[in-house]
Amino acid sequence: MGTDSTALLTDHYELTMLEASLRSGAAHRRCVFEVFARRLPEGRRYGVVAGTGRLLDDLERFRFDGPVLDFLARNEIVDDRTLDWLAGYRFSGDIWGYAEGECYFPGSPLLIVEAPFGEAVLLETLVLSVLNHDSAVAAAASRMTYAAGDRPCIEMGSRRTHEDAAVSAARAAYIAGFSSTSNLEAGRRYGIPTTGTSAHAFTLVHDSERQAFQAQVESLGTGTTLLIDTYDVETAVRTAIEVAGPELGAVRIDSGDLVELAHQVRNQLDALGAAKTRIVVTSDLDEYQIAALAAAPVDAYGVGTQLVTGSGHPTAGLVYKLVARAASDDPDAPLIPVAKKSAEKATRGGRKYALRRRGPDGVATAEVISVGQPPEPPAEGDDRPLLVPLVKNGEIVGREPLAAARERHAASRAELPPTVHQMSKGEPAIPTLYMEGSKR
């Protein structure tokens, strides 16, 4: 479409606010914006930060090039002074954030953007789009991979979400412990392992199930996964082993009573000497279904719809709020906290820090948040700082390999108290404590 800029993936009002603040002068006031969740989705015990790496890529392309300025001018969205300002726009501020994969709780300052108002306000929509989507998927994925234990989870939800969101969903799921994805673009772009063998259509297009299995095994080898529920499962298992031999890699069940079928199929495979042939199940699974299958002889879970739609919570509900600004137009003016006056939508003003407090056993006990600088040394020995630099003076400094986020998530989740893994609805796993900050 003539540009790879991300600058228009934003709301109209970000630009009109820029224009009006350039006129009033407020565009140049130093500001602190903060991304946080007022609450977790109903009953969830923790959230998972995802999208940070994607956001940094998007920020690099957040610039107002020719086609973008053309559109804004043609539609008179902002005035000429603002167009000039935008033509030279480069984010010059600082961004800190929870590292990708980290768990979070209500009020956790997931991202802190410090920059002149005009620069920082422009980023609101894009920041929220990326973090709200990816974090929603990662939070659901984390519950699923925990419920699955050592059994791998395969992401296969592309068809149930927007085609570009699908690629990002695969990435978020991988961070939260999924082992692979069906999405090829996620493989190309992020190096995530991709998997897949065949669907019912493949069996149906052949004259018989046997012919289909033969074609697949000849093409993909005996290590492949054969889909056994197109016609009759018992017949299909017998045919599968006749065609592939007991070395068949796996069979896949995509419908029916999965617990019941898994047991039947396991028994049949064992009786046929195919004790190592694995069983993959893939029928509208969510974390509850996965947990319910824990005692069934299942070797892997393929998860689609419920993963990409956040298992009932397709958006993380994160907001991007102004929490502090320069007290005046003086460039040396100190920052003062600001907040909308509202019982229902309270915002705590000021630039924050955040620590994960842990007990002597290494188990997390609280999310400690305060305005100002963290006490040094930390008030309690095992406080783990949560904010890392992502952008310094406009330069991206927070890039890391995707594997780092994946490892971080596993470690962060392992640190949470065991109650976090109760499937039932409940309170956040640890309380959020707001403390008085020091004024160094």
Interface with its own copies in residues 12-41 (CB under 8 A): 12-17, 19-21, 23-24, 26, 29, 31, 33
Q: How far is the CB of 304 from its own copies (least distance, A)?
A: 10
Residue 394 binds to its own copies (criterion: CB under 8 A)? no
What is the rounded CA–CA span in Å between residue 218 and residue 391? Answer: 52
Q: How far is the CB of 274 from its own copies (least distance, A)?
A: 21
For residue 377, whether the previous peptide bond is cis, meaning omega lies within 30 degrees of 0, is yes
**Separation in Å, CA 59 to CA 72, 173, 426:** 19, 22, 36
**Given the complex with its own copies, which of 99 and 120 has the nearer CB atom?**
120
Q: Which stretch binds its own copies (CB under 8 A): 213-221, 266-274, 289-297, 400-408?
A: 213-221
Strands (E), 266-314: 278-281, 300-303
Whether the Cβ atoms of residue 153 and residue 178 lie closer than 8 Å to each other? yes
**Given the complex with its own copies, which of 317 and 372 has the nearer CB atom?**
317
Q: Which residues, 243 to 282, sit near its own copies by CB under 8 A?
A: 255-256
Q: How far is the CB of 121 from its own copies (least distance, A)?
A: 6
Q: How far is the CB of 6 from its own copies (least distance, A)?
A: 7
Whether the Cβ atoms of residue 312 and residue 288 lie closer than 8 Å to each other? no
Residue 399 binds to its own copies (criterion: CB under 8 A)? no
Residue 148 binds to its own copies (criterion: CB under 8 A)? no
At 250, which helix (H) or strand (E)? strand 250-253
Q: Which residues, 96 to 135, sit near its own copies by CB under 8 A?
A: 117, 121, 124-126, 128-130, 132-134
Residue 367 binds to its own copies (criterion: CB under 8 A)? no
Sheet with 278-281: strands ordered across: 180-181, 153-155, 300-303, 278-281, 250-253, 225-227
What is the rounded CA–CA span in Å between residue 181 and residue 73? Answer: 42
What is the residue type of 336?
I
Q: How many residues bind its own copies (CB under 8 A)?
A: 104
Residue in 39, 276, 340, 399 binding its own copies, rule: CB under 8 A: 340
Q: How far is the CB of 12 from its own copies (least distance, A)?
A: 3
Q: Which residues, 276 to 295, sit near its own copies by CB under 8 A?
A: none
What is the rounded CA–CA span in Å between residue 78 and residue 188? Answer: 38
At 384, which helix (H) or strand (E)? strand 384-385
Q: How far is the CB of 398 from its own copies (least distance, A)?
A: 19
Residue 219 binds to its own copies (criterion: CB under 8 A)? yes
Q: How far is the CB of 254 from its own copies (least distance, A)?
A: 9
Q: Which residues, 53 to 72, sit near its own copies by CB under 8 A?
A: 58, 67-68, 71-72
Q: Which x/- pattern over 157-196 shows residues binding its own copies (rule: CB under 8 A)? A: -xxxxxxxxxxx-------------xxxx-xxx----xxx
Q: How far is the CB of 78 from its own copies (least distance, A)?
A: 9
What is the rounded CA–CA span in Å between residue 366 and residue 114? Answer: 26
Q: Which residues, 298 to 327, sit near its own copies by CB under 8 A?
A: 305, 308-309, 314-315, 317, 320-322, 325
Query: How much is the CA Rg of the chain, to the nearest whole Å?
Result: 25
Q: How far is the CB of 407 from its own copies (least distance, A)?
A: 23
What is the rounded CA–CA span in Å between residue 226 and residue 259? Answer: 19
What is the full DSSP assignment across 319-354? EEEEEEEESSSSTTPPEEE-----STT----S-EEE
Pairing relationship of beta strands 111-116 and 30-37 according to DSSP bridges: antiparallel
